[in-house]
Amino acid sequence: MSKATLLIGVLILALFTFGVVNLVQNYQTGNELDYYLLKETTEAAMTDAVDIGYYRMTGLLRMDKEKFVESFMRRFAQNVANNRYYRIGFYDINETPPKVSVKVDSATAASFNNETFEITNQIDAILESKYEENLYITDMIRAGKLDYSQIES
């Protein structure tokens, strides 16, 4: 009788261990995937949001806030898993120089005592260039003769 009880105890302990390992692996894998998804999505959305006309005129980078948020949400929504819950927060968006701070909280469907454990990933990204000044535009502005038809594209 004691061997049968011991066997049942070992089986229950093995099932419990597999459950805990599965849960920990789910959170660890989710954290890594969320981080790289956040990093790549932020970079792509910042590149999409660059104001090309302003860059051609001044040589400086400027990003449109609304375009960044729209592009970020669209790209992020296309690549997330359906078995996780996400909460996205934009904490700082500067247009010039382009800088964003984005925080993503994610949680799986598993909960303990009606409390979910969230994984938080935060990224601060700055888009840089050489910031060269366009001398032709500078001279035209100083002379008061800025005519957009003369600017090469």
Whether the predicted pLDDT of 140 surpasses 60: no
Report the DSSP beta bridge partners of residue 94.
99
Whether the predicted pLDDT of 147 surpasses 60: no
> Given pLDDT bands bounded at 50, 70 and 90, which one contains residue 106?
confident
- Averaged over 30-41, what is the pLDDT? 85
Dihedral angle, C-alpha 141, 143, 144, 145, nearest 10 °: -90
Sequence-distant (≥ 6) Cβ neighbours of residue 8 within 8 angstroms = none
> Given pLDDT bands bounded at 50, 70 and 90, which one contains residue 111?
low
CA distance linking residue 25 with residue 33, whole number of Å: 12
Written as one string, the DSSP assignment of 2-55 is HHHHHHHHHHHHHHHHHHHHHHHHHHHHHHHHHHHHHHHHHHHHHHHTB-HHHH
SS3 130: coil
| Per-residue pLDDT tens over the stretch 42-99 | 999 999 998 888 877 777 788 999 999 999 999 999 988 777 788 999 998 998 888 9
Do 68 and 62 contact (CB within 8 A), yes or no?
A: no
Q: Is the pTM of this model over 0.95?
A: no
pLDDT at 27: 67
Do 119 and 31 contact (CB within 8 A), yes or no?
A: yes
